[in-house]
Amino acid sequence: MKHIPTDPNLFIQNRERLVRLMIPGSAAILNSNDIMPTNADGTMRYHQNSDIYYLTGINQEETILVLWPDHPDPTMREILFLRETNEHLVIWEGYKYTQQEASRISGIKNVRWFSDFPTIFRHLMCEVEDIYLNSNDYYRAVNEVQTREMRFVIRCQEEYPLHRYHRLAKLMYQLRAIKSPIEIELIRKACEITGKGFDRVLKNLKPNMNEAEIEADFAYEFLKNKGVFSYEPIIASGPNSCVLHYLQNDKVCKEGEIVLLDVGAGYGNYMADMTRTIPVSGRFTRRQKEVYEAVMRVYHLTIGAMQPGLTIGDLRSATEEFVEEECLKLGLFTQSELDQESASDPLVRKYFMHGVSHSIGLDVHDAIFPLSQKIEPGWVLTCEPGIYVREEGFGIRLENTIYIGENGPENLMKDIPIEAEEIEEIMNSAK
């Protein structure tokens, strides 16, 4: 992720909010992510642990944050440990943070080199009984690769088995669900960059283009604006539009088909998430437009339901009812078939089989805790209904990133075209 200068008050306030939730006399220790290998001597592009970024703003490997709020020496209450740079690292890997720069970015006054950590860690563990350690507790996570964080958890429990350990993730997920004004502006910028990519695609798409060329148009605008793909983009034409996580992106887009674009930009570590479904030839067929308008109606109804006090599960249930009504109108099933459906296998799930909303922020699927947590002002959610008609060879999904404000939902992608007529007009005026 490219470094974007960010107000250090964001990270200072985030640490203050976390400390208020911690047990008196406790301490918390967080680790950065590893640089992940590929093969031979190759590595993947580095991506920082979202929790340590949330608390420090530091985008660098081999970083540790220690929060020790009740230490009698105020300079020891927040300590940031960094990988020490040298001439060899500068030549081979480039610039690394100085202690002064890391202090300016994070607002942490006590910045030490990584080599100082073992001594301070031993001191802390001899003084403190309650220790918060971090983990990836997202309910759909598959933790097959042992992270630096998990290695540290194992080390702590082996070396200091008599301490009381606590799950930091519960507190972090609670905090990260509510976005501050600074975070909202970063997400808004990510949405703006996403819109630039989509505008380029609308003006360039024509029959016989490859899905890969569409991906390249998004990449051009994202990189030009210091953004990245916030997740692997889905560029799915024709029948591929019914494959929810299609990632091949290498088929020819044929005249008369639609192409589903599930793409978002990341900016300053914050993510956007957008889906549009557009006609390859610049005009929807009559049937494509019927399904498109049905999904648009569901989208507007779901946005109206995105109110504080509901859960994401509540939104899903409401959206299923909206989709069911539209499927009846589209002739995808009859009222008689609906009356005989199985409660455990409702007909609507043949045409709408995924969730309609998730939290978004530093991660595309930002964790919330517990899953039954009710929506509050300050959340940022997606709204992404769809209807997939596999027997007719196409699916329609529409998605925007939505801020839940005090006065109701705010569409952070309101400037990105979504209405069918507007999309057709832009595509055809470009030609």
DSSP letters, 118-143, are HHHHHHHHHH-SEEEE-----TT---
Residue 241: what pLDDT? 98
The answer to whether 82 touches 99, Cβ cutoff 8 Å, is yes
| Whether the Cβ atoms of residue 237 and residue 393 lie closer than 8 Å to each other | no
**274-279/394-397 β-pairing:** unpaired
- Beta-sheet pairing, 78-82 with 110-113: parallel
pLDDT for position 370: 81
- Give the residue range(s) of CATH 3.40.350.10 domains in the chain: 9-176
Give the pLDDT of residue 16: 98
- For residue 381, list its beta bridge partners: 359, 402
pTM of the shown model:
0.95
Per the listing, tokens 């604006």 go with 225
- Match 């703003």 to its residue by tokens: 57
The whole-number pLDDT of residue 343 equals 83
Which pLDDT score, from 0 to 100, does residue 132 have? Answer: 98
The pLDDT of residue 131: 98
Structure-token match 């950590």, residue found = 117
Give the model's pLDDT for residue 92: 84
DSSP character string of 353-377: -S-S--B-SSSSS---SSTTPPP-T
Contact (Cβ atoms closer than 8 angstroms) between residue 130 and residue 26: yes
Pairwise CA distance, residues 160 & 29, whole Å: 14
Count the Cβ atoms, other than its own, within 10 Å of residue 266. Answer: 26
CATH of 9-176, one of 3.40.350.10, 2.130.10.10, 3.40.50.2300, 3.40.50.300: 3.40.350.10
Q: What is the pLDDT of residue 87?
A: 81
Query: Rounded to whole angstroms, how far apart are CA atoms 218 and 193?
Result: 9
Q: Which residues of the chain fall below pLDDT 50? A: none
Question: Residues spanned by CATH 3.90.230.10 within the chain?
Answer: 181-430
Decide if 406 contacts 422 (C-beta within 8 A).
no
Tokens of 119: 């001594």
CATH 3.30.365.10 for domain 181-430, yes or no, is no
In the chain, the amino acid numbered 194 is T
Angle subtended by helix axes 181-204 and 420-430, to nearest 10: 50
